[in-house]
Structure 1
């Protein structure tokens, strides 16, 4: 960034004329075309003949004083330009520092996700049971295939390869269980525990300022491979609150418009789907939306909205969002179950 600096000031310089000292007035300013202009106002000369020697001496003194004045002015301009350049550099460094801080925070978040995933894998590996399945390159594709080959212990961990050997995603660790005679695949994550939502300043319901990232044991590509080769997948979601507005984010980053137990696109919870929502209505019109129990938002009654999410195109849940939790009496809890897939 370039600056044009013109120091505007008024000053006087003295010179000696005969037995008295007289003054030359000087000032600077901008011309119409934006250039700096310096003007010197000479006093009346006591010498009537301009060609006299005394007049020449006076003019020479004025010239010398004018040169000194211009040199000082130029020095001021150089100093000003140097200071402005220094300020520009400080501003640039501040912007660089802000970018570095932003990158640092992003790297910290990525590191936290990797540490959580590593911790889960280490825990699961200790409990992993892999029966004799014959060819080590022929890893089963699901818990159902594990059961067909050799059976398994309920709620144990096994290695499967959902899309087959030497292609697609790498083999992954999952939990296997049997429900009503059917072998199912379970994939856990870091948000299964009941979690309190209470953060000061998160008042805007639409913003959903509170967020909880959901990190699965395995990569999202591996989880989606399991979902794609399953006939049914579901994930239980639950909120328990007296006011908060909440939603969740799909595996590919879309904001879901329904809660557990309701249909995609409905904008409802399970009770809204069945028409059984409860709670005192406080809307200005006196009518309730009937979408969710937590819509009562009266600060007095704690309500629960829960159910299974079973639309395969949206699973697994990757983030939980909440808003309207700023008042002293506004808070809530959320719980998200493992992803469960059926053969």
Structure 2
């Protein structure tokens, strides 16, 4: 991490130990319990603020994610709802705040990024409630979907990182997560020196991975022409060795599973699957989306997904 700061195994354990303990990590009499992978965990808010808060409580989440440009409980920007921002800032130990600038079809702009974080007040309130270092500012989102020049994006990302560090001292910074879809050329970006050097300046590497199979398997995602989580994490280890990774989006896309079942599988993947690289520091699942006409509604897991997640935690090693 920036400034040579690294999280020890002991410190990593503390990140999620409270949440997992709250979930009742006791096994049945006579049942061996495998040690879980202690990772920060929680839901991403797209639409449905109170359901998102309920999900955080149901899961005993210690990480959550918001976006500056949506998720507001009513009309207008987040600045119109300071009480909701204040509650969100104290709901979890760590909070990811993502910018809209740099999202899918536009090059990230340092001035816009600073304005978005400042005007939303998430950093301001998180610094008061938990400390500046518990606010993780994520810059951009899957630009490789439509942005065709990683050189320019990488240059702008580097400038934006410098501006964010200057304006919001103490905040942690997460690099732009790429779409894993091979049709959007993620490896062109992973191989671009400007993009790679910019992410090196961040505290975390951001990644996304998904599952399409009806059984919710994450390992067969290559059948849908996407990088699997293992392939994505291996690229991170190669390009940014030793730097912790956050899955700032991951989801099961099939509608064959209930939100509860999806949440159960999320808990299993993040905490009990030994094939997930140890560099994965934390993960936010996509998403709480209560608007049936909203984006990716079929991936909504509401607050029931959090119950499934917590159920898997409570079972421990099976």
Structure of greater Rg: 1
Same fold (TM over 0.5): no
- More RCO (CA 8 Å, sep 6+): 2
Q: Point out the structure with the larger strand share.
A: 1
TM range (shorter): under 0.3
Q: Point out the structure with the larger helix share.
A: 2
